[in-house]
Structure 1
Amino acid sequence: MIPKIGIKLTFVLAFLVAFPMFGQEQKYNGDPDSSFEKARELAFNKQRQQAQDTLLSILTKYPNYHEIRSFLATTYSWDGEYKKARKEFATIFEKDTKNKSIWEAAIKNELWGDMPYPALEMTTEALKNFPDDPEILYLKASAQENTNNPIEALNTVQFILDKNPEDKKANDYKISLNKILSQNSIGINSIVDLYSDVFDPMQYHTLKYGRQTKYGSIIAKVNFNRRFKENGLQYEVDLYPKISKGFYAYINVGLSNSFLFPDVRFGAELYKSLPKSFEVSLGFRTLKYSTTTTIYTGSVGWYYGNSYWSFRPYITPGGVGTSTSGTIAYRKYRSDADNYLGLSLGIGFSPETNQFNFNENEASIINLKSQKINLGYYFTSSNKQNAWGTQFAVTHQEIIFDPGKYFWIYSLNLSWEIRFK
């Protein structure tokens, strides 16, 4: 037994002598600048973990190489690890508060981490070291906007522009803030439908006033309709109340004493944002003529880069069966949500988008066959104060009183809106 124990002890001692660093952290040994450059290449090529391992290794020997620690913190920010980034920035600021680029990275970390109040405090400290610096002031304005103080943010941006009127980033931000502060709007929308057969041209016009509030937006509308050589008015209100972050509602009420519109229309819908840039909704619309029709609807939307896809079905139960229709829409955004090219395709007839008096015609109306394509273009003035839109649609629709036969409908839609404080 004793010789065997001796052999084991000899083996253990030999192992420890041969591998003295086993179980200990290995120190970095190399050129920190070249290793830093390699780590940057890894980080920008989405090999973030390898980059962070390299940066941490360098810091074991060069803990005061602040540019490396700052870049490590920035990679944490990119990964959404804002607390880890904050810790690294705090380590730097214990020894160095004179590096502007590190201040900028640290403030951005707070903004990206949805911590605008600490970001605002940091801009105050940074400006003590770099008075009137435009980049720090720009970050200050971003923090002010994110703390629900767009007026203060606008004042800060204006201060930048007073020093340098040609600052493009500040000018663009000023336009964006003015848009946010323009909480009122007045708009006009006009549609003309031209029929290939049967009907004379039909007109639809809307005058609307909108107001943005902290609880959501409200839009009051007066709709004018000329059909069948008759005129009619409808009064409508749309509400978009905010419920919580990523969760809001749509509520609509409309009244009319003209047969061209429902006597009463109302509807509601709930919208919820989901991960991966998806949004879903579920709701209904009710139209009350001499009888009442309820349409159930909803939507699935997906934002992908500057593109948006959506699908909306309409389901209309009735005494003669259930009617279904649907629309697929696509938008390609340009500079913002008010500037885009849109395309939609629709199949089936829905009383929501084609308001007819049902009465005795319910069976023939809800089962109408219809196909529609719509192309739209929306754009704004350079200061975002004016917004225009134009749409052209072609519909192939079954004739109500002559099943099996179709006509073509050519629709032109023009809109204009002005926003003001």
Structure 2
Amino acid sequence: MTQTMESPGTEATRIVDAVLDDLATSGHRGIVVDSPPGAGKSTLVVRAAGVLAATGTPLMIVAQTNEQVDDLIERLGDKHPGLGVGRLSAVDYAATERVRAHPSCRVGAKVPDLGGAPVTIGTAAKWATVTDGTWPWAIVDEAYQMRSDALLRVAPRFERALFVGDPGQLDPFSTVEVDRWTGLSWDPMQSAVAVLLRHNPELPVHRLPVSWRLPASAAPVVAKAFYPFTGFRSGTGPSDRSLSFSTVAASAIDEVLDTAAASGWGLHELPARFTVRTDAEAAAACALIATRALARDGVSHSEAGTRPLTADRIAIGAAHRDQVAAIRAFLPPQAQDITVDTANRLQGREYDLTVVLHPLSGRRDATAFHLESGRLCVLTSRHRHACVVVAREGIADLLDAHPSTEPVHLGVPVKFPDGWEANQAMLAHLAALPRSG
């Protein structure tokens, strides 16, 4: 008997309905929703907020950055314009255009200033300053970016919570030494979800099964490298999206762009060499690839329609801020609107074409920072059509010469995926592509 596979839309709807059903009927104090890149986390948060608010239940929403807060307010305004929203903010906060556009949003530094809005939203840092009042429900957005100590500080404010996040993205980080807490079940450097589930293993966990951002050429590659035990699929098929350029290839840079347009991936390799972190040749290559893509009058075709490949639809990602500054310095005036940023700041954003400076390019060693699977996952999962990786030759040899040597600590869960394996998986796919340079 042939088993018919559900369509991506049907499968995604079934999981979202199960989440909403748990919100209405589950007796658990927490519900966790894991999501791959571009699976509709924010859409779920907005929909869940509407469902909970419709019951007359006051709701608090916790996000991790002001950018995420304003994005959610904009989305709430689009989907639920009549729903009153209170935006908790700093005293000197100036409302952005997205917040001002919400027809029913009120901004204030304290909860009483918000006039009893049905939905109160703010960053985790701002919520930590609230010492009075409780809400029957909370929604924690990007929960895997939230440190466990931040959750501890806001937990007294709610009775039940929905935690939504991407387990494959960057882990919480700190600029201070944290070894003293290693191995403790409440280690503040673990994500809020990790600590929550260690202490409450019975909580229901749902997994969104479809990425609506990543094309069919990217979803299997990213899933294998960074989500080996859960997996996901693309919401579009191999022929649903395409990227084309109007000019004929005239250089190695054009060839790698054509390869990326045809296969979804491109690899531009520079000669093997140990370099300083701000490798000028690699930075220039990243800027040149993005600028050339803009100059070739690219056009993207997808379920969203046909549109030109403009500068605001191209991004360049790197691991360090000084690399970002070096790349930006190489962009000509006509390409200044191309986004250039670190993996941390690119989380949650999407583009038609991305150019990635590989974190291990030109390095003598493979440190824990540069091997972190979440960093490469973010960099290689921002695109709707194609991703070009820029790297010096020899990364595979570097990985073989520097196997993972992180110490094993009692009481510390083994992290999956392992950064070493994730890098090898991604490199294996890129190595099969036609070379340029």
TM-score by length of structure 2 reads 0.26
Structure number with greater Rg is: 1
Q: Which has the higher contact order (CA 8 A, sep 6+)?
A: 2
Q: Which has the higher strand share?
A: 1
